[in-house]
Structure 1
Amino acid sequence: MVSSLQKSMINLTQVLRLREHQKSFKELEKLGAIDVYYLEAIYQLKEPTIGTISKLLGQSTPNTNYHIKKLVNLKLIEKRIDDVDRRVTHLTVTSRYSELINSDEDFWTRTQERLESEIAATDLAIFQRVLRQTIEIISEESREDTISD
């Protein structure tokens, strides 16, 4: 049975995904769902390797390379050879992708203003702390899942 916290987290995730889908970025229309997952994973993990992304998304290396090539050609991600081990390639999102995801600044500004006006300052501070910790925990769990696979 799903707890109320789990249900709230699922609802939040779904609402945010629907919001992004409604925006329907023209630049991202060429992407399939898996491409978007690659972008999100690369963005969240900062500079992951191709192997890390393959494991995280449960994709074969050839399939991952196909999607990576597509995202590089669209100038949404870049490859960077590791300074120490030249056999390792790191992936990063480009400033173009960052601009796309930050283009909804008005929405986020309005949301922040409403939260600040409708929620007590102490509650909002707790909410921000809990959000940061939630992101850290989910990131750690994702990395651990990737390592254990």
Structure 2
Amino acid sequence: MINLAQVLRLREHQKSFKELEKLGAIDVYYLEAIYQLKEPTIGTISKLLGQSTPNTNYHIKKLINLGLIEKRIDDVDRRVTHLLVTDKYSELINSDEDFWARMQDRLESEVAPTDLAIFQRVLRQTIEIIGEENRQDSVIG
């Protein structure tokens, strides 16, 4: 697991997206949440990530300045602001998705089907264990 984490960190570093190097872990959570929720409000993101509105606004401003997200006023209720990722962020995500698609294709063509099935099962279990550890850490912390 340590070797895998190191290789993935090196890959991220080699991509050297200067904007992403400026992000902290919570910034990445904001980006992922905004991307997954498709135009959430600031309040929705604050509640989802358990952050105060001022703290959320700080991170939102940082992400806007880096050109990774933008605000859009609601068409119906002009008091509501939605957040959405920019084309710049979508391009970063898509380049990563291309890498993972190529990786999956290579695994499927170069690894024996039985070994691949075992790997997929172990990977699912690893993801579950990481999720459990994260939940325990959030309860403790």
Fold shared per TM-score above 0.5: yes
Letter in 2 for 1:40: E
1:111: Cα distance to partner? 1.9
- Report the more deviating stretch, 107-116 or 27-36: 107-116
- Within the candidate set 28, 33, 41, 1:36 is matched to 28
1:36: Cα distance to partner? 0.8
The correspondence of residues 24-63 of structure 1 with structure 2, limited to 5 A, is 24=13, 25-63=17-55
How many residues of Structure 1 are paired with residues of Structure 2 in the alignment? 111
1:23 aligns with 12
1:26: Cα distance to partner? 2.5
Q: Write out the 4+ residue segments of structure 1 that deviate beyond 6 Å after TM superposition.
A: none
Instruction: Supply the RMSD in Å over aligned alpha carbons.
Output: 2.8
Query: What stretches of structure 1 of length at least 5 have no aligned partner?
Result: 1-10, 128-149
- Within the candidate set 93, 102, 112, 1:101 is matched to 93
Separation in structure 1 between the aligned mates of residue 10 and residue 36 of structure 2, nearest angstrom: 19
Separation in structure 2 between the aligned mates of residue 28 and residue 62 of structure 1, nearest angstrom: 22
Query: What stretches of structure 2 of length at least 5 have no aligned partner?
Result: 121-141
Please state whether the residue corresponding to 1:107 is helix, strand or coil. helix
1:78 aligns with 70
1:102: Cα distance to partner? 1.9
Please state whether the residue corresponding to 1:113 is helix, strand or coil. helix
- Report the more deviating stretch, 24-33 or 51-60: 24-33
Deviations 1:23-56 (A, max 9, x none): 1333211111111110011001111000000000
Q: Which has the higher contact order (CA 8 A, sep 6+)?
A: 1
Letter in 1 for 2:85: V
1:67: Cα distance to partner? 0.7
Matched, 1:64 2:56: yes
Please state whether the residue corresponding to 2:67 is helix, strand or coil. coil
1:104: Cα distance to partner? 3.0
Separation in structure 2 between the aligned mates of residue 21 and residue 39 of structure 1, nearest angstrom: 21
| TM-score computed with the length of structure 1 as normaliser | 0.62
Separation in structure 2 between the aligned mates of residue 75 and residue 60 of structure 1, nearest angstrom: 23
